[in-house]
Amino acid sequence: MSNTAAATELRSVVVEREIPHPPEKIWRALTQPHLIQEWLMKNDFMPVVGHDFKLSADWGAVDCRVTAVEPNRTLAYTWGAYGLESVVTWTLTPTSTGTHLRMEQAGFRPDQQQAYGGAKAGWPRFFASLEQILARLE
């Protein structure tokens, strides 16, 4: 999908904050499994490009693969859950008072992904996750 039409259909979520702690400390929280577990989810993360890992919570699991590691600066991994294929990128920029921390999650909308992956692959997954949501509501 290297054509420009596909690129413009990407959507993303950006959350950024000024954090009064140095990048090195935030990097530890982003990359050490026992610390990741405290703010994100249980995991078998390793800061190695190509490493496959899972983030797991009581509502399900997220399949991830590390795609970029630049200590104290950049960390990126794929994020696949409930039919959403996306990439999460963390960027740490030192400031005079700590760190500007930016998280961007970019991916395709499930309906667009369905167009790429074929209706047969997309819909059953969507309905399967819908059933799980409904089961939890009861």
Partner 1 sequence: MPNTHDVLFRTLADPTRRALFERLCREGEKTVGALTARAGVSQPAVSKHLGVLKQAGLVRDRHEGRQTHYSAQVGALAPLIDWTSQMTGFWQNRFDDLENLLKRMDQ
Interface contacts to partner 1, rule CB under 8 A = 11-13, 15, 17, 19, 21-22, 25-26, 28-29, 35, 38-40, 84, 101, 103, 105, 107, 109-111, 119-120, 123, 126-127, 130, 133-134, 137
Q: Which is nearer to partner 1, 50 or 77 (CB)?
A: 77
By beta-carbon proximity to partner 1, the closer residue of 36 and 66 is 36
Q: Which of 26, 82, 95 is closest to 55 using CA atoms?
A: 82
- Residue 10 or 69 having the CB closest to partner 1: 10
Q: Which is nearer to partner 1, 74 or 126 (CB)?
A: 126
Q: How far is the CB of 114 from partner 1 (least distance, A)?
A: 9
- Amino acid in the structure at residue 24: E
Rg (C-alpha) for the chain, rounded Å, is 17
69 C-beta neighbours (distance < 10 Å), count: 17
CB of 11 to partner 1, least distance (A): 5
Q: How far apart are CA 112 and CA 117, in angstroms?
A: 9
Distance (Å, whole) CA 28 – CA 91: 14
